[in-house]
């Protein structure tokens, strides 16, 4: 029996040895988590103005009313395990939780508290239930914790978790189901209050998506920031170093890696391995061993910051044993690359977002238009100006969608072919009515020859009102 299992048998109580719990215990041991009494970090004030907090808190308050006097504490945490709020009316449970610092302002990730419900849910990004002596720290053995991660309903980013905690001797059969319901309601409420946000597409079951090098297409000549990043990556790969590219979603991290790999290994197959649905992770891992062992194959592990911790550890072991080519990964930021994989990454290069590379927008748009249309696509000066000055919150992926839709309508793209949001500057979140009003004004002004005065007549507004709305919504009027 290993050291951790032996230590866990204090008092003759055996620890559960499921693979996920065992992996979590090993991580806790490596982190140096406390074995007997938690001493978490206190961050003080928490962000109570975010959409996630407001929706999550409303859901927890509603659920708490249905639980009457049950000894259950309902908590909301951020993605780092900091407790943002706690709802509980059972005084005995509140006092006990206070003694273990499971309270707002304290951090309870695996690093601070070892294996626990919310820490495991955040690490593995999947619903988790930890009972009594399954906790790494004996100071938490009095509790059973059920936690479910909450993802951004639009972008899929991890926001935090819903955590339900009760006494360890209480039945936990419904605890995880309640936590899953609360997490689902939180995401749904965020989507409802997001004023027009669209949910991200559901996973299509493509746990390992293979792309031949030619499928990436030749990237156009882009500006300084892109070229600097590309030069750094090429140099590292030529030296046999493993590389990580970090940056916002949709910024072109995989494209940059594929371009560099084609330069260094022009005859290689390039496989882009996207993160799987958590339920498919074991199958996804089985596909790595044969591919990493091939001499003519380069693999990009995309979005490793969204992998469950145990899967990242398993993948790191496969890389160490099988990889014959430099290992390449992408992530949102360097600190988000799982520790197990970060040890195999020799250099990290950051790719700036598209809003910081305005000179790249038009070349990319022309390139994407040609790919979508099958022939050259031109942009009028007004359309080009609108594209360059837009802030592109979803980066190149959003530009691709906009150009594909516009190019489907014409070989010469004008402002009237662009969606209304591209013609508007950054603004606050709008209600659905405001969004409709903004879009109608933008569409009207985009029609050739339409002046502000004429648009006011068409829309039944006074000139003063439409000028005020143009300023309010940040609409850019064509010259």
User: Is the per-residue pLDDT at 6 higher than 60?
Assistant: no
Provide the terminal-to-terminal Cα distance of the chain, rounded to the nearest Å: 76
What is residue 74's predicted lDDT score, i.e. its pLDDT? Answer: 94
For 19-77, the pLDDT digits (tens) are 889 889 999 998 899 999 998 888 877 777 888 999 999 999 988 888 877 899 999 99
**Residue 68, number of CB atoms within 10 A of its CB:** 8
Q: Average pLDDT, stretch 151-159?
A: 84
Which three-class secondary structure state does DSSP give residue 148?
strand
pLDDT band of 17, cuts 50, 70, 90: low
User: Is the per-residue pLDDT at 214 higher than 50?
Assistant: no
Q: Average pLDDT, stretch 310-317?
A: 89
- Looking at per-residue pLDDT, the higher value among 268 and 260 belongs to 260
Question: Residue 454 is encoded by which pair of tokens?
Answer: 């004429």
What is residue 467's predicted lDDT score, i.e. its pLDDT? Answer: 78
Q: Average pLDDT, stretch 88-113?
A: 91
Cα–Cα distance measured from residue 44 to residue 106, given in angstroms and rounded to the nearest whole number: 8
Cα–Cα distance measured from residue 247 to residue 36, given in angstroms and rounded to the nearest whole number: 39
Cα–Cα distance measured from residue 311 to residue 288, given in angstroms and rounded to the nearest whole number: 12
Q: Average pLDDT, stretch 329-337?
A: 92
What is residue 446's predicted lDDT score, i.e. its pLDDT? Answer: 76
Q: Which of 137, 136, 140 is closest to 168 using CA atoms?
A: 140
**Residue 57, number of CB atoms within 10 A of its CB:** 17
Cα–Cα distance measured from residue 1 to residue 131, given in angstroms and rounded to the nearest whole number: 21
Q: Average pLDDT, stretch 253-280?
A: 84
Burial level of 64, CB count in 10 A (0-12/13-18/19+)? middle
Question: Residue 252 is encoded by which pair of tokens?
Answer: 């072109």
pLDDT band of 204, cuts 50, 70, 90: very low
User: Is the per-residue pLDDT at 181 higher than 80?
Assistant: yes
For 361-373, the pLDDT digits (tens) are 899 999 988 888 8
Question: Residue 390 is encoded by which pair of tokens?
Answer: 């837009």
What is residue 206's predicted lDDT score, i.e. its pLDDT? Answer: 42
What is residue 219's predicted lDDT score, i.e. its pLDDT? Answer: 61
Q: Average pLDDT, stretch 181-194?
A: 84
What is residue 220's predicted lDDT score, i.e. its pLDDT? Answer: 74
Cα–Cα distance measured from residue 383 to residue 394, given in angstroms and rounded to the nearest whole number: 19
Specify whether the CB–CB gap between 422 and 436 falls below 8 A.
no
Specify whether the CB–CB gap between 284 and 301 falls below 8 A.
no
pLDDT band of 295, cuts 50, 70, 90: confident
Q: Average pLDDT, stretch 292-306?
A: 85
For 409-456, the pLDDT digits (tens) are 888 988 888 887 787 765 555 566 777 777 788 778 877 778 888 888
Cα–Cα distance measured from residue 402 to residue 408, given in angstroms and rounded to the nearest whole number: 10
Q: Average pLDDT, stretch 182-197?
A: 78
Cα–Cα distance measured from residue 81 to residue 42, given in angstroms and rounded to the nearest whole number: 11
Question: Residue 384 is encoded by which pair of tokens?
Answer: 């080009």
For 142, the enclosing helix (H) or strand (E) is none
What is residue 39's predicted lDDT score, i.e. its pLDDT? Answer: 85
Cα–Cα distance measured from residue 463 to residue 467, given in angstroms and rounded to the nearest whole number: 6
Cα–Cα distance measured from residue 231 to residue 366, given in angstroms and rounded to the nearest whole number: 23
**Which residues does 214 contact at the CB level (< 8 Å), separation at least 6?**
none
Question: Residue 272 is encoded by which pair of tokens?
Answer: 């882009």
User: Is the per-residue pLDDT at 245 higher than 70?
Assistant: yes
User: Is the per-residue pLDDT at 217 higher than 70?
Assistant: no
Specify whether the CB–CB gap between 469 and 437 falls below 8 A.
yes
Question: Residue 243 is encoded by which pair of tokens?
Answer: 């590389």
Partners of 82 in the β-ladder: 107
For 53, the enclosing helix (H) or strand (E) is helix 51-66
Only one residue has tokens 């001493």, namely: 39
Specify whether the CB–CB gap between 128 and 24 falls below 8 A.
no
Cα–Cα distance measured from residue 101 to residue 106, given in angstroms and rounded to the nearest whole number: 7
Regarding pTM above 0.85, the answer is no
Cα–Cα distance measured from residue 160 to residue 290, given in angstroms and rounded to the nearest whole number: 35
Specify whether the CB–CB gap between 446 and 415 falls below 8 A.
yes
- Residue-range domains of the chain with CATH: 3-193 (3.30.450.40), 213-352 (3.40.50.300), 356-473 (1.10.8.60)
Q: Which of 177, 118, 389, 152 is closest to 249 using CA atoms?
A: 152
Cα–Cα distance measured from residue 204 to residue 317, given in angstroms and rounded to the nearest whole number: 27
pLDDT band of 383, cuts 50, 70, 90: confident
Only one residue has tokens 């780092």, namely: 80
- Looking at per-residue pLDDT, the higher value among 237 and 220 belongs to 237
Mean pLDDT of all residues belonging to the chain: 82
Cα–Cα distance measured from residue 349 to residue 338, given in angstroms and rounded to the nearest whole number: 16
User: Is the per-residue pLDDT at 106 higher than 60?
Assistant: yes
- Looking at per-residue pLDDT, the higher value among 125 and 463 belongs to 125
What is residue 430's predicted lDDT score, i.e. its pLDDT? Answer: 58
pLDDT band of 319, cuts 50, 70, 90: confident
Highest-confidence segment of 83-97, 420-434, 451-465? 83-97
What is residue 77's predicted lDDT score, i.e. its pLDDT? Answer: 94
């Amino acid at each position: 029996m290993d050291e951790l299992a032996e230590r866990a048998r204090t008092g003759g109580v055996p620890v559960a040895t499921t693979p996920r719990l065992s992996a979590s215990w090993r991580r806790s041991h490596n982190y140096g988590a406390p074995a007997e009494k938690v001493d978490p970090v206190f961050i003080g004030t928490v962000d109570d103005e975010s959409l996630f907090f407001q929706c999550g808190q409303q859901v927890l308050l509603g659920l708490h009313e249905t639980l009457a006097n049950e000894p259950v504490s309902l908590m909301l945490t951020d993605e780092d395990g900091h407790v943002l709020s706690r709802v509980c009316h059972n005084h005995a449970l509140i006092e006990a939780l206070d003694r273990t610092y499971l309270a707002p302002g304290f951090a309870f990730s695996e690093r601070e508290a070892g294996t626990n419900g919310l820490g495991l849910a955040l690490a593995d990004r999947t619903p988790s239930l930890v009972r009594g002596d399954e906790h790494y720290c004996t100071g938490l053995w009095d509790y059973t914790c059920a936690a479910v991660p909450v993802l951004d309903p639009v972008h899929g980013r991890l926001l935090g978790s819903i955590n339900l905690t009760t006494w360890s001797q209480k039945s936990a059969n419904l605890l995880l189901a309640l936590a899953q319901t609360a997490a689902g309601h939180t995401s749904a409420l965020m989507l409802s209050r997001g004023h027009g946000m669209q949910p991200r597409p559901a996973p299509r079951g493509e746990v390992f998506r293979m792309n031949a090098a030619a499928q990436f297409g030749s990237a156009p000549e882009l500006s300084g920031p892109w070229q600097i990043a590309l030069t750094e990556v090429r140099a590292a790969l030529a030296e046999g170093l493993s590389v990580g590219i970090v940056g916002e979603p949709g910024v072109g991290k995989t494209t940059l890696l594929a371009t560099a790999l084609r330069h260094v290994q022009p005859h290689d197959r390039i496989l882009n391995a996207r993160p799987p649905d958590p339920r498919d992770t074991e199958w996804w891992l089985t596909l790595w061993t044969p591919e990493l062992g091939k001499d003519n194959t380069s693999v990009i592990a995309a979005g490793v910051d969204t992998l469950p911790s145990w899967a990242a550890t398993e993948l790191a072991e496969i890389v160490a044993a099988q990889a014959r080519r430099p290992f390449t990964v992408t992530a949102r930021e360097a600190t988000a690359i799982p520790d197990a994989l970060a040890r195999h990454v020799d250099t990290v290069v950051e790719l700036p977002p598209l809003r910081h590379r305005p000179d790249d927008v038009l070349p990319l748009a022309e390139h994407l238009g040609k790919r979508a249309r099958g022939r050259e696509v031109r942009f009028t000066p007004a359309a080009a100006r609108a594209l360059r000055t837009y802030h592109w919150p979803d980066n190149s992926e959003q530009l691709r969608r906009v150009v594909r839709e516009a190019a489907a309508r014409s070989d010469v793209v004008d402002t009237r072919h662009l969606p209304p949001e591209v013609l508007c500057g950054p603004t606050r979140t709008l209600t659905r009515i405001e969004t409709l009003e903004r879009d109608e004004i933008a569409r009207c002004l985009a029609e050739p020859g339409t002046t502000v005065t004429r648009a006011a007549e068409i829309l039944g507004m006074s000139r003063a009102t439409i000028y005020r709305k143009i300023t309010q919504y940040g609409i850019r009027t064509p010259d």
